[in-house]
Amino acid sequence: MNSTQADYWIKHLRLKPHPEGGYYNEVFRSEQQVTREGESQLKNSCTSIHYLLQNADFSSFHKLQSDEIWYFHVGSPLHIHILKPDGQYEWKELSINETGSLSVVIEAGTWFAAEIPSRLGFSLSSCVVAPGFEFSEFELGEKEKLLEIYPTQAELIERLCLK
């Protein structure tokens, strides 16, 4: 799995740079609308993107106000690092390997980041967000803020935060 294959998928799926890192393209935005409990604003019920990381690229720590499900398609294993609201850390592998899973659920309000642990090749996945993704509900993690909340994860935060 080399950069030529990554370049193929970037071109074939019309992926563009994502603000959190990597490449993406939104492929579905439901016309069905829903509201969150306790809110009145209508939102698309779900959205879906293709998402690609290659080599040392990473998805910087961020959180959403909606649940997100990642689905593995092809390429190198992907590690998703999760910093839970109660201060706990866990990681999950997205891959076809025995140690991995084809899908990973990230609960709303949870800080998470992703990387190819080998830093070689590429990893192509899809992400479904429900209620649908809106950049206004996306928060990019800040190192200083996350270090205060998760001091035991300093190395990970230093490595996987853009700002």
* Domains in the chain with CATH codes: 6-34+41-160 (2.60.120.10)
For 101-131, b where at least 16 C-beta lie within 10 A, e where not — what string? Answer: beebebeeebbbbbbbeeeebbbbbbbbbbb
Q: With the C-alpha atoms ordered 54, 60, 63, 64, is the resulting torsion angle positive or negative?
A: negative
Which neighbouring-strand residues pair with 79? 93, 115
Note the pLDDT tens digit of each residue in 46-75. 999 999 999 999 999 999 999 999 999 999
pLDDT given at position 65? 95
Contact status, residue 1 vs residue 73, Cβ threshold 8 Å: no
Average pLDDT of every residue of the chain: 95
Give the tokens for residue 82.
């999760």
Q: 3: pLDDT confidence band, cut at 50, 70 and 90?
A: low
pTM, two decimal places: 0.93
Give the span between the Cα atoms of 19 and 133, in whole angstroms. Answer: 14
